[in-house]
Copies of this chain bind each other. A is one copy, B any other.
Amino acid sequence: MPDKPLNAASDSYHHGDLGNALLAAAETLLHSHGPGGLSLREVARVAGVSHTAPYRHFSNKSALLAALAQRGLERLHDAMAAAAASVPHGPEQQLIAAGVAYVSFAVSHAEIMQLMFGPHIGPAPVGTEKDAFAVLLTIVESGIAAGVFRARDAGELAQVAWSTMHGLAMLITANRLDVDVSDPAALAERVSSVASNVIYGLSR
């Protein structure tokens, strides 16, 4: 009974979802080998196809890495948005929550962060790379409207917040700050401390 399965692709010659299978394999290998150590041939091997099959789905290795980075940008945005939404206690707490989400994501996806913000790929497609920034911008805008943040250009304040969180995340994942990344509570404490200092300033 040679029926065509609609939900499964057990046929195994065309397994139908090779694009996503390759991305999944690449993500696994990225975790163990790091970017640069990832080879397209090994990705194909893990996915169970010949080493030229990936070229049916991605025009080259860079395109695969770019797709991975794109995925990462979306997930980071979602994690930040969810964190901010879960805190109805005002802009300061939302900013801190979004920062904790940012750094937590960076710690558990260090290699993908390198792809997202490194030189491996060009700038992300317009309208998407702003998504993580957009979360911060929204929080800052609501904070200005509520009179909690200074009435400066919101974009400028959001840039300050982004820079600080990004730098903190990169220095922590690069092992430059003495933070135990395996302890989520300690990590959140560190991020909260830095975020609070940015909110209230260094002066006086």
Contact = CB atoms under 8 A, between A and B. Distances in A.
Nearest to A194: B160
Interface residues of A, number: 49
A29 interface: no
B117 A176 contact: yes
Contacts of A152: 197
Interface string A114-156: 1001111001000001000100000010010000111010001
Interface string A159-170: 111111111111
A157 interface: yes
Nearest to A92: B203
A193 B92 CA distance: 21
Contact of A167 (B156, B170, B176, B177): B170
A185 interface: no
Nearest to A166: B167
Contacts of A13: none
How many copies of this chain are found per oligomer? 2
A2 interface: no
Contact of A164 (B149, B150, B160, B169): B160
A133 B157 CA distance: 24
A204 interface: yes
A202 B35 contact: no
Interface in A15-73: 34-36
A86 interface: no
Contacts of A85: none
Given A149-B203, A202-B150, A204-B150, A193 B162 contact: no
Interface of A: 34-36, 92, 110-111, 114, 117-120, 123, 129, 133, 140, 143, 148-150, 152, 156-157, 159-171, 174-177, 193-194, 197-204
